[in-house]
Amino acid sequence: MSEIISKKNMRLKISVKDWRQAITEVGCLLESGGHTIADYTQEMIKAVETYGPYIVVAPGIALAHSRPAPSVLKTGLSLTTLAEPVNFGSEENDPVYIVLGLCAISNNDHLEMISQLVEFLDNEDNIELLKSSNNIQDIYSAINKVEQGD
């Protein structure tokens, strides 16, 4: 997963006013990392407007994404943690304090990354690290541990 997410694609303890701004933040990280063009961020927002808060995949965690599209240049992942959680409209899993942005060039291209991401997020220590850390290196190291199978 560290090959897909770089330290430059992470921001911690950011302040946002709502879920749209949270998605915009992870979208901007994907764009600045060369993974997407700006249209992809709008596609992620439109997906939530159309289908609802399905991207809130676990308590406190949103995985913003859209379909593979011409606006995706290469598969990538971005991560933000929020200074104050925001609601996405998910009765079961709001409020959200961890927002990930995912883009893939094909439907199958991101499966390994998703598998590693699930393994990382399945560990409560990693969730607590994401919630509390102000140190990108600590989070990056924890992600590398999962990737290496430690």
Residues 96-140 have pLDDT tens digits of: 999 999 998 987 777 777 888 888 899 999 999 999 999 999 999
Which pair of tokens denotes residue 121?
A: 């997020």
Q: How far apart are CA 73 and CA 52, in angstroms?
A: 26
Residue linked to tokens 């560290």: 2
Structure confidence at residue 149 as a pLDDT band (50, 70, 90): low
pLDDT of residue 116: 81
Phi, psi of 51 (to 5 degrees): -105, -5
Query: Which DSSP state fits 56?
Result: E
How many whole angstroms separate alpha carbon 124 and alpha carbon 38?
33
Q: Where are the beta strands (DSSP E) in the chain?
A: 10-14, 56-58, 61-64, 76-86, 96-103
Higher pLDDT, 142 or 96: 96
List the one residue out of 136, 38, 44, 40 whose CA is nearest residue 81: 136
Which whole number is the average pLDDT over 9-17?
Answer: 97
pLDDT confidence of 50, banded at 50, 70, 90? very high
DSSP category for residue 65: -
For the whole model, what pTM was predicted? 0.92
The angle formed by the CA atoms of residues 90, 100 and 85, to the nearest 5 degrees, is 50
Q: Across the chain, what does the average pLDDT equal? A: 91
User: Which class is domain 7-147?
Assistant: alpha beta
Contact 100, 57 (CB under 8 A): no
pLDDT band at 143 (very low <50, low <70, confident <90, very high): confident
* Interval 54-70: pLDDT, tens: 999 999 999 999 988 89
Peptide bond into 53 cis (omega under 30): no
Percent of the chain with pLDDT over 90: 75
